[in-house]
Amino acid sequence: MAQQANQPLPNGHPLEEYTIDRQLSLGGFSIVYLATDAAGTQVAIKEYLPNSLALRVNGSTRPVITSEHQGAFRYGMKCFFEEGRALAKLSHPNVIRVLNFFRANDTVYMVMEYEHGRTLQEFIQKHQGHISERFIRGVFTRMLNGLREVHSHKLLHLDLKPSNIYLRSDNTPVLIDFGAARQTLATDQPILKPMYTPGFASPEHYGTRKDLGPWSDIYSVGASMYACLAGNAPQAADDRLKKDTLTPAMMRWDGQFSDRLLEIIDWCLNLNHLYRPQSVFALQKALVETVTPPTPKANQHWLGRFVDKIRKPNK
């Protein structure tokens, strides 16, 4: 089935003990609504509705799924439900809180806390070229606290990017939209059709995906930090594997940010997963190191430092 536009549930629609207020976002895999519970508290509700498998027309609540796609739809629905159950066990200030999950309208729903703020992507677009190193270190160090919690439950995010890092009003980061978190670290779990965002997905996202691990999310962290400086996503990993034209952070922003921050970004973006930080803890430890103010350096001096960095990668 070709991808198509699914109609959202109408405003005011009752859904279990919730009432739909309005649509918040529409993606290829799901629709997210702002809703109100029986106590009048606002929540976000994510509806499983992949537009490549199901079609809901205006005025209908249940999607139409052809017999050809019934198996794939049900399998995805089962994984979405399992994802909700796994994420509901997480309780961390830097991870979106899942409050409830249920079946209705021939599909499944995940109820989450509704956070006030904006995404890091929106922040990047507003402050292009003017995001401080202090802000980057602060946001990503705290976001990594949440990612450590995710990894400790043998889950991977696998769709980490600025639009999935939410900033509360005080700039506290929250990991949201675990649309790909159903891929676990356990090898006996089935793998759904790959879901990733070019530029932020690691090389392991492509192909057989057998090398996926915490280091894959760490590549995405590096790409997100790179985007904070560049204002847009870095070159896609699959393109880099063919012809790597990505300008290393150490070269592109030499003298504008500390050497250590730029080294960390390039470390995370190494195409070989064995040469990246192997754990969130290792990356956090590097990020909280004392910052040495940047000083302008000649290009040949940068080149020597960068060559040394490749020859002696961080462990």
| Predicted confidence (pLDDT) per residue in 193-246, tens digit | 556 789 999 999 987 778 999 999 999 999 999 999 999 999 999 999 999 999
Averaged pLDDT score across all residues of the chain: 87
Burial class (CB in 10 A: 0-12, 13-18, 19+), 260: middle
Amino acid in position 254: D
pLDDT tens, position by position, 84-138: 888 888 999 999 999 999 999 999 999 999 999 999 999 999 998 789 999 999 9
Question: What pLDDT, on the 0 to 100 scale, is given for residue 187?
Answer: 40
Q: The pTM is what?
A: 0.84
Tell me, what's the pLDDT at 271? 98
Q: How far apart are CA 88 and CA 78, in angstroms?
A: 15
Rounded CA separation 148/84 (Å): 18
Contacts of 107 (CB under 8 A, 6+ apart): 47, 48, 49, 54, 62, 63, 77
191 vs 90, higher pLDDT: 90
Instruction: Give the domains, in start order, of the chain with CATH numbers.
Output: 16-113 (3.30.200.20), 118-288 (1.10.510.10)
User: Is residue 116 classed as helix, strand or coil in its secondary structure?
Assistant: coil
